[in-house]
Structure 1
Amino acid sequence: MSTDTSSRVKQSFLAGSLTSSAGVFLAKAIGLFYVIPFTALAGEKNMIFYSAPYTYYNVLLQISSAGLPYAIAAIVAKYVTRNDYKTVMLIRRLSTAILSVSGFLMSMIFILISKPLATAILGSQATGLDISQMRTCFMILAIALFLVPILYSYRGFYQGMKELRVYADSQVLEQIARVAALLGLGYVTVKILRFNSIWAVYMAILATSIGALCAILFYSRFDRRHIGAIARTARAQETPAVRKNDILKELFAFGLPYLFAAILGNSQTLINTNFFVPTMTKLGMQYETATLIYGIIEVQCDKLTSIPQVLGAGFSVGIVPYMTTALETRNMKDLRRYVRECLDTVLYIGVPICFCLCVLSRPIYCVMYGNANLEYGAQALSYAALLAIVTTITPVCSSMMMTLHLRKESIFYLLIGFIVKCVTFYPAMRLIGYPGAIISSVLCSCTIIYLCLGKIKNRYGAAYGQTLIRLFKMILGCMAMNGVFALIELAGFTFNTVSRIVCLGQLALVGIAGMIVYISVTAAMKVPQAVFHKSMKQLLTGGFRRR
């Protein structure tokens, strides 16, 4: 491969992954800011009715999709590399049919098991009304279980075609539609029709289906303009498509490990959902306080920590077609480069964001959610920031393992992580209180990352020496940033946690100053130049362009 071609490949991979990350970021940013008015409509006491159903929804969604979105992307990329477009079209038809049927069946199952799930989540101290309201939330969410797998069939196909821009656009549109419906319908039902505040939660859950439907319509319009060229190429192809049974075997051979990985990957949240409230009440906390803190961790803190986590989501999506192509063409040099670039980029952007979430947790939580329950929120966010960085890296590692045909090992490592979570959950909570639930998740993710990266190194010769050196330099940049925060505090500056508007202005100034220091210090050590393969002048003026 020539130097120019190699450079184009690097930029294409980074640009594609960052484009995907940007789409997820915009979607998450939109989702982040709806929490403030939504909490005002629904009330903090009702947040558990909003957050808890999504834990089981995510698991059942993964089961209904059987890991096929990633399988579709990888297998489509494989046959596009071989110029076998008849097989590409066959994959499209089969995957759409499978996901539509499985989504419908899973939504019916979700409705049938809604009552026992509601009872299990809320525990023995819950009232009949609480259980009824939780069950209603499950039943409304069942609609999304049918629609979202259909959306996944589109996303998986065009991800495999390396159309990552439309992937990102669909996520932004989905979130805009969802938030508009969430706030609009919530306001109408609670403020105009004067229904109980739980109706804001019902409308918020219904908005998930509305957002998915809008994204499906967006993809349908895009599909009508682009599928024709692929279909014509397939018709002109002289060689036959791969047999249907062989494609089905390949889809499930690739997809089922993703399914098990996804279920185990959600194990941290599953354990928190089922055991957080019972454990804290057993340790002496009031039921109402335990449900309040659970809602803070799973909704408010989760929305904030999802900011750095978009990198993990974006690169998990972006790396599949490129790494599949490198593996298919036996280009081990590019494959190892993709592993290194994934880790370097995610760390360079994610580490300072998580650091700021930790050391500035109090003003950040105040700006987003006010000073009600500020002590609980600030402490939970400072711990959750540590979890954010490891859960940003974990999905990237799992995605690489799956794409590199290390599926059995990946599932086994996730199972080990699940065991670590189970073993450390109660002791950690008994030792340090409710933050112990977060610390046990950190230990789980660290275990998975260590095992996955070790396996990739042993099998494909990936080297992490330069990544560790750059990570050390990033930490030095964060220490310099913290030095700025300390100097500002020594100068007598304090955050105003009474006025959220004033606090926002103060936070913006301090945050910008800190990030300038981080970028300057790391640039002096040539970190961003090495990560993004550009000079600082190019990074500041040109950004990333697809060549």
Structure 2
Amino acid sequence: MSSKLLRGTFILTAGMMLSKVLGLLYVIPFDALVGAKGFTLYQYGYIPYTLFISIATGGLPLAVAKFVAKYNALGEYGLGQKLFKTSMKIMLATGFLAFFVLYLIAPGLGEYYASSDPAYKPEDITQVIRAVSFALILVPIMSLIRGFFQGYESMGPTALSQVVEQIVRIVFLLLGAFIVKFILNGSTVTAISVATFAAFIGAIGGLIVLIWYWRKRKAYLDELLLQDRGQLQISLVDMYKEILFYSIPFVFVGIAMTLFQAVDTLTFGKAMASIGKSEETTTALGILNISANKLVVIPMTFATAFAMSIVPTVTKAFVEEKMDTFTTQLNQAFQVLLFLTLPAVVGMSLLAEPVYTAFYGYDELGVEVLKVYAPAAILFSLFSVTAAVLQGINQQKYSVLSLLIGFLLKLSLNIPLIKWFQTDGSIYATTIGYLAATLINMYVIRYFTGYRYQLVFRRTLLMIIFTGIMALVVSVVNGLLNTGLDPQHRLQAILIIIICAGIGAGVYFALALKSKLAQRLFGNRIEKWQKKIRLRAK
């Protein structure tokens, strides 16, 4: 893996991980403010918003990144900048259009959600959806700027803007909800509406960071324009056709999880009611799509960063026909991804009780859902990266095909599996859908590039063995700690996590170093780190 790709991936990972951690930490005080039912109302606003964000941005960040990387590799720097400047107006128009549409259809969505959840009135859900819809005005512009920088393999602007956006959103969300509930004595519905409107305030913060970066990099971009070869003349119409061709598959991939969650939102209540569990719907759905989901997506943060980093890099190698470089990058990408994701999801599943308790307080259903749900993050990660590779080799239509097949499996299996396994059934349906989509993506990559997975499979087997040893050690340590500590008590649960995670990570990385696996994956960085440790020990 090129040092530039690895560096960009880790920058994005650090930014996304910090953003995810912040997104988890705020849950603790927010849960105290609005409760489990409030979380479900929050979800009713956020799922349609997420869907509209994906459509409004049109998969633009990665599509623009791919376009810019492609023509930069050809020395045509002016084309990328031309596209960027003209796209700003389109994104502004798209953002306003998405805002108006979501704002107008909010009453209809409110009626539908309220029909299967008696806890809230249609007008309550409508108010929450309309509050979050304002963020649609700014997010498309922000996505365009991020994609442009990523096309230059510059991941810092995306990472920092995401962190600032999250901090501003969370501060406004918590302060707003607190003021409404405890100072103004307002309702939970009003507090949730303020919390969802925080997405708009956060977007302002993220946009300010990106504008600052643009002004800072302007001189460098102008210098590149002086080096422009100017041999290709592409009209704006042809540019937008190419971007549209790139972006449509990105839209589908970007809304993959949201589509699967939408299936749950639409069918979960009716399926639970059919087995006499309608009173559990609100709480169970909130745990499934909000509480547990926020924890499960943490291990796939690295995959998301890889997907964003690998598109311009793979595109460049593919355009320049450097297939050896292409193969090396894929080998390293898959291995590093699995090296970090496998132990993380297994550890989360083993420590589901203290992990869930630490963030949300003990809940028997929440612990069970997290234990079953955590391993699915491996498939979420692999799907994200394989879909990104298909974009890089211009076979993005197959990522849409694989997702549709996975979605249809989820849609057809969700109700029967929920009837058989209740909340866990929804997780099984999601897992089957993602497994099918990932296997199709892997086959298509193999078919069009001749890429072979043998090395990845061999190394993955070694990682599984190391993870198994780590899991055994963590299970023993967790069992011993549970004799003196209560995993259902928040502070004691945190202590259990720190001890078990520290020992588990130590065992896993010690095995990786002893077998030289870590050195093969991370190269000079590990060797330099080892030398520093030895020098300090002396």
Name 1:5's counterpart in structure 2.
none
- 46, 53, 60: which one aligns with 2:52: 60
Name 1:114's counterpart in structure 2.
106
Name 1:379's counterpart in structure 2.
368
Structure 2: 5+ residue runs without aligned partners? Answer: 534-538
Name 1:525's counterpart in structure 2.
515
- Tell me: CA distance 1:508–1:22, structure 2 relative to 1, closer, same or farther (3 Å): same
CA drift of 1:230 comes to 1.6
> CA contact under 8 A between 1:308 and 1:388: conserved in structure 2?
yes
| TM-score, normalised with respect to structure 2 | 0.94
Q: Secondary structure at the match of 1:330?
A: coil
In structure 1, C-alpha distance between the alignment counterparts of 2:87 and 2:493, rounded to whole Å: 49
CA drift of 1:265 comes to 5.2
Deviates more, 1:209-218 or 1:482-491: 482-491
- 29, 35, 38: which one aligns with 2:27: 35
Name 1:445's counterpart in structure 2.
434
In structure 2, C-alpha distance between the alignment counterparts of 1:97 and 1:10, rounded to whole Å: 35
Name 2:242's counterpart in structure 1.
250
1:332 aligns with 2:349: no
> CA contact under 8 A between 2:59 and 2:251: conserved in structure 1?
yes
Task: Give CA-to-partner distance per residue, 1:450-473, whole Å, 9 cap, x none.
Answer: 111111112112121121122111
Aligned amino acid, residue 62 of structure 1 = S
CA drift of 1:256 comes to 2.0
In structure 2, C-alpha distance between the alignment counterparts of 1:12 and 1:53, rounded to whole Å: 38
1:355 aligns with 2:349: no
- 185, 188, 201: which one aligns with 2:192: 201
Name 2:444's counterpart in structure 1.
455
In structure 2, C-alpha distance between the alignment counterparts of 1:261 and 1:492, rounded to whole Å: 42
Matches within 5 A, 1:463-474: 463-474=452-463
CA drift of 1:401 comes to 1.0
In structure 1, C-alpha distance between the alignment counterparts of 2:153 and 2:31, rounded to whole Å: 38
In structure 1, C-alpha distance between the alignment counterparts of 2:77 and 2:311, rounded to whole Å: 19
Displaced runs of 4 or more, over 6 A: none
1:171 aligns with 2:128: no
Matches within 5 A, 1:179-194: 179-194=170-185
1:298 aligns with 2:289: yes
In structure 2, C-alpha distance between the alignment counterparts of 1:14 and 1:492, rounded to whole Å: 37
- 386, 398, 404: which one aligns with 1:397: 386
- Tell me: CA distance 1:342–1:441, structure 2 relative to 1, closer, same or farther (3 Å): same
Matches within 5 A, 1:226-305: 226-234=217-225, 237=228, 239=230, 241-264=233-256, 266-287=258-279, 289-305=280-296
Name 1:132's counterpart in structure 2.
123
Task: Give CA-to-partner distance per residue, 1:461-498, whole Å, 9 cap, x none.
Answer: 21211211221111111211222133335647434135
> CA contact under 8 A between 1:42 and 1:198: conserved in structure 2?
no
CA drift of 1:150 comes to 1.0
In structure 2, C-alpha distance between the alignment counterparts of 1:417 and 1:541, rounded to whole Å: 47
Task: Give CA-to-partner distance per residue, 1:261-293, whole Å, 9 cap, x none.
Answer: 434553211101111122112221033x21101
> CA contact under 8 A between 1:79 and 1:87: conserved in structure 2?
yes
**How high is the sequence identity, in percent, across the aligned residues?**
25
Aligned amino acid, residue 110 of structure 1 = L
In structure 2, C-alpha distance between the alignment counterparts of 1:490 and 1:166, rounded to whole Å: 44
Task: Give CA-to-partner distance per residue, 1:69-120, whole Å, 9 cap, x none.
Answer: 2111100111222222221221111221221111110110001110111222
Task: Give CA-to-partner distance per residue, 1:173-204, whole Å, 9 cap, x none.
Answer: 11111111111111111122111123331122
In structure 2, C-alpha distance between the alignment counterparts of 1:498 and 1:54, rounded to whole Å: 29
- 86, 91, 101: which one aligns with 1:99: 91
In structure 2, C-alpha distance between the alignment counterparts of 1:542 and 1:223, rounded to whole Å: 37
CA drift of 1:257 comes to 2.5
Matches within 5 A, 1:482-521: 482-488=471-477, 491=480, 493-494=482-483, 495-521=485-511
In structure 1, C-alpha distance between the alignment counterparts of 2:371 and 2:207, rounded to whole Å: 37
Name 2:536's counterpart in structure 1.
none
> CA contact under 8 A between 1:181 and 1:210: conserved in structure 2?
yes
In structure 2, C-alpha distance between the alignment counterparts of 1:236 and 1:540, rounded to whole Å: 42
Name 2:409's counterpart in structure 1.
420
> CA contact under 8 A between 1:327 and 1:404: conserved in structure 2?
yes
CA drift of 1:350 comes to 0.8
- 467, 471, 486: which one aligns with 1:478: 467
> CA contact under 8 A between 1:264 and 1:415: conserved in structure 2?
no
> CA contact under 8 A between 1:358 and 1:382: conserved in structure 2?
yes
Aligned amino acid, residue 414 of structure 1 = L
- Tell me: CA distance 1:214–1:204, structure 2 relative to 1, closer, same or farther (3 Å): same
- 7, 27, 38: which one aligns with 1:15: 7
CA drift of 1:539 comes to 4.4
Task: Give CA-to-partner distance per residue, 1:35-81, whole Å, 9 cap, x none.
Answer: 01001111111111111222221221122122222111100111222
- Tell me: CA distance 1:437–1:82, structure 2 relative to 1, closer, same or farther (3 Å): same
- 270, 275, 300: which one aligns with 1:309: 300
- RMSD of equivalent CA atoms: 2.0
> CA contact under 8 A between 2:353 and 2:488: conserved in structure 1?
no
> CA contact under 8 A between 1:123 and 1:278: conserved in structure 2?
no
In structure 2, C-alpha distance between the alignment counterparts of 1:492 and 1:75, rounded to whole Å: 53
In structure 2, C-alpha distance between the alignment counterparts of 1:510 and 1:125, rounded to whole Å: 39
- Tell me: CA distance 1:40–1:540, structure 2 relative to 1, closer, same or farther (3 Å): farther
- Tell me: CA distance 1:46–1:168, structure 2 relative to 1, closer, same or farther (3 Å): same
